[in-house]
Chain A
Amino acid sequence: MAALTPELLALQLLVGLALGAIYVLLAFGLSLIFGMLTVVNFAHGAFYMLGAYVAFAVAGLTGNFWLCLACAPVVLGLIGYGVERFLVSPLYGRGIDYPLLLTFGLSYVLVEAVRIIFGKQGYPFDSPAALAGSVEILGNYFPLYRLFVVAATGTIVLALWLFVEWTNFGLIIRAGARDPEILRVLGIDVGRVWRLVFALGTAIAAMAGVLAAPLQGVTPEMGDSMLIESFVVTVVGGMGSLGGAVLAGLLVGLVVSLTSVVAPELAKLSIYALMAAVLLIRPQGLFGRAGLLG
C-alpha cells in the first residue's frame, strides 16, 4: 500500500475526476435515452467502444486527434439514428424488456464485428502531442491529458445544459420526459424527437470513447465494464436525471480512484458498495423521481 501523501492524494483526485468525467458522459446519454424513450440501452458500451475505434481509424489516416474528436460523434450519431429508426422503434409499446434485449444482442454483434475488422488484440492510442506531459500546479505535477478530459467534459456538459434549458428542442426534451402524449397533441413529431435523442446520446458516448482512448487504449471489450459501471452511475444519480448523472459520475470516479490507492483489490467493488449504500437510503437514486418504471 502506498503512503497517502498530499501529492498522491491530489493526483488520485484528478485521476478520479477524469475517470468520473467518462462516466458522466456515458451516464448522461443513458439517462437521456431512458428518460425520454424508456429504453434501457445495453448497446451504449458498444457505441462508446465504436467511438474509440472510429477515432483509432481516423488517427491512423490523419494523425489528428482533434479530427477524431469531431468525426467519432458524427459517425456514431448517424449509427444511433439508424439503430433507433430501424431496430428500436418497431419495439415501442411492447414493454421495456424488448428494446433491452435487442440492444443487448446488438452490443454483442458490434463487439464481434470490431474483433473481425480490427482484430481481437487492443491497440495503444497516443494522446495528442499538445496534451502530452504534465503541468505544475502549486508544486504538484498533473498529467495534462487528464486535466483536458475533465475540462472537455465540463464544456460538453455545460453545452448540453444550455441546449436543454434554452432551446426549443431542449424544451421538448424536458416536456417529453414527463408526458410524450401531450407533445403529440401539440403537433410535435415525437418519433422524430426520439430518433434525435437516441442519436445525441450515442454521439455523446462516442465522445466519451475518444476521450478515454488515450487513457486506456482501444480494445473491443473496452465498453463492457464501462457500460455496467455507467448503469450503476445512472442508478446512483437517479434514472432519467441529468444532474444526477453528473454528480454520481464524478462521485463514482472519485470513490474508485481513492479506493485503488488504499486497497486496489477493492476498487471495482467500491462502486457497488456505493450503489448499495445510496439505494438503501434513497431507492430512487440521488435525484430520481420515484416510480419511473412503474
Chain B
Amino acid sequence: MGMILKNGIVFDPMNNVKGEKKDILIENGVIVDKLNERTARVVDVSNKVVMPGGVEIHSHMAGGKVNSGRALRPEDHRGFVMPKTDITRSGSGFSTPTTFMTGYLYSKMGYTTGMTAALPPLMGRHTHEELKDIPMMDKGALTLLGNNWFVMRYLKEGDIEKCAAYVSWLLNAVKGYAVKIVNPGGSEAWGWGKNCRSIDDPVPHFDITPQEIIKGMVEVNERLCLPHSVHLHPNNLGRLGNFETTLQTMKIPNGTKAAGDRQVLQVTHTQFHSYGGDSWKTFESKADAIADVINKSDDIIIDTGFVTLDETTTMTADGPMEFYLSGLTRLKWVNRNIELETSPGITPFVFSKKMPTASIQWAIGLELALLIEDPWKVLLTTDHPNGGPFIRYPRIIAWLMSEKYREKTISEVHKAVNKRSVVPTLDREYDLNEIAVITRAGQAKSLGLDHIKGHLGPGAHADIAVYDIDPANLNPNNYAEIEEKFANTAYTIKDGEIVVKDGEIVKVVDGRTLFVNAKVDPGIEKDVIKDIEYNFKRFYSINLANYPVRKEYLTRPMEIRT
C-alpha cells in the first residue's frame, strides 16, 4: 500500500523545490511520481515542513573508541537515560549515548542516514557490531587510512595503482564506505610519542610527509571512483595558529579532478582547524581566512564541527592531540594505539561559556557557516561528540536561523568573542532551504549518495522528515520554538514507514549498512594480495583469514559498486 504525504511545504534543494506546497507519493519504500490514490494511505501534513531525511556525515557513534569513551565516563551516563518501553530498548549517555539510544535520538530529529566517523580496520568487526545495534538509520563507516603502513609504503614508492588496489581490498574486507585520513603521519609518529606538526614534517621511519600522503590518497580515491571524496582531518587539530596548516592542506589536491559530481576533498570539523594566535591570550578566529578559500574553491567543502558549549567526551584517531589536550586539562586520558593503522585517543572536555577559548570556538563554527556563501560547501556537524553531542543540532539550526539567538548567546559567553571573532558583526540568517542543504542534501551529494538520499524526487529512498513548522508564520526571533521543532519531528519516515510520530518512536526498524566495492585491475590486485599476505603474517597480531568482516555482521547489506 502506498502513502501520500498531503499538502506539506516541501524543501527539496536537490530538485530545486524551495518551500512549495506539494504532495509526496511513496510506494514500496521509495518515492514515486504516480500512485493508486484510492488505496493509498493519506497522511495530512498541511502547513508542515517536509524535508528529505537528515544525513549525518561525520559522527563518532559506533566503534571501539566510542565504546572506550562510554566506559570511561559513567558520569556522562547517569543523568541522561532512556527507560525501556514496549518497543524500544533502554539506554544512557549524554555525549556518548548507547547504540539503541543513538538510533532513536537521531530518528527523533528526522535523521535517517549516518556515517560513523572513524573505523580502524583491525577493529572493523567491533564497529559493525555496534552499527548493527543502531536501529532506525542506514549507516556506513569512514575508514581510517592516513597512517596505514601499507598505504604509506606504496605512496612512498609512488605506486598509486598498488595503493589503490590495497585500498579497494581493505574497504571491501572491513566493509567500509569511504577513505578517512586523520592527522596524516602524525598518528603513526605517535607510536613513538611524536607528532607531525606541519604538512612537510617527515613521518619517522617511513620517509614520507603528510602532504605526500594526502596528495596520494586523493589520487587513489579518484582513481577508484569512490562515491565520497577523501575525508580529511588535517594535521595540528586544536593547536594555536593552526589555520596556516589548514590553508596549506587545502592547496594540496590542486587540480585533481573529481570522479563524480562532488568535491575532491572534504576538510572535516574545520572549526578545530581555524585558529589564529600564538598564545591562549591571543587565541583568535581565523574562520574568515578559511571561508575565503572555500568561497573561491570548487573542489573543497567543509563540515563545521560546531562547538555547542557543553561538557563532552572528545575522541579522535589523532592520538597526540588527545594527549596534548589531557595535559592542558589534567583530566583522564585514554589512548589506543592500533597496530599498523592508527592511534586514537579520548579525554573529556568542558566547553564552558566562561572560557575565552571555548567561547571563541563556538563563534568560529558559526562564522564558518555564515561566511561561506554557498551552503552546499558547509555541512552541519559537531564532530559528535567532540564539539558537542549530536542532539544539539536543533540548537545549532536555531543559532544559524536567528540573529537574535546569537546575540543572546554572545551576551552569555566570554566577552573575548567580541574582540577575537567577527560573529557579533554577522547578520546573515539561514532560511529553511539552506538548512535543508546543510543537514541533508549537501551531505548526500558529498557522499555520492544523491541518487537515493537527500532528495524527494522519484527513485529516492522514502526517508523523510516532517517538522511541525509553518514557513508562512516562521519568526526567526522565536528561536526556542525552532530548536524544539527540529528536535522532535511531527513524522519521521524511514523506507516508507512512519517510525516517529509527534516526537515519539512508534516503530523500530533496521537500516541498511552501506559499503563500497571498488573495481581494480585483477592483475595488480593479485600482486597486492600477495604482498598483503606476506607482510600481514609478519607484522599483524592476527591471521589474515580472521581479518575480513563477513556480511553476517551487517544489517541489510547494500554494496555500492564503482
Answer yes or no: do A and B interact: no
* B interface residues with partner A (beta carbon < 8 Å): none
* A interface residues with partner B (beta carbon < 8 Å): none
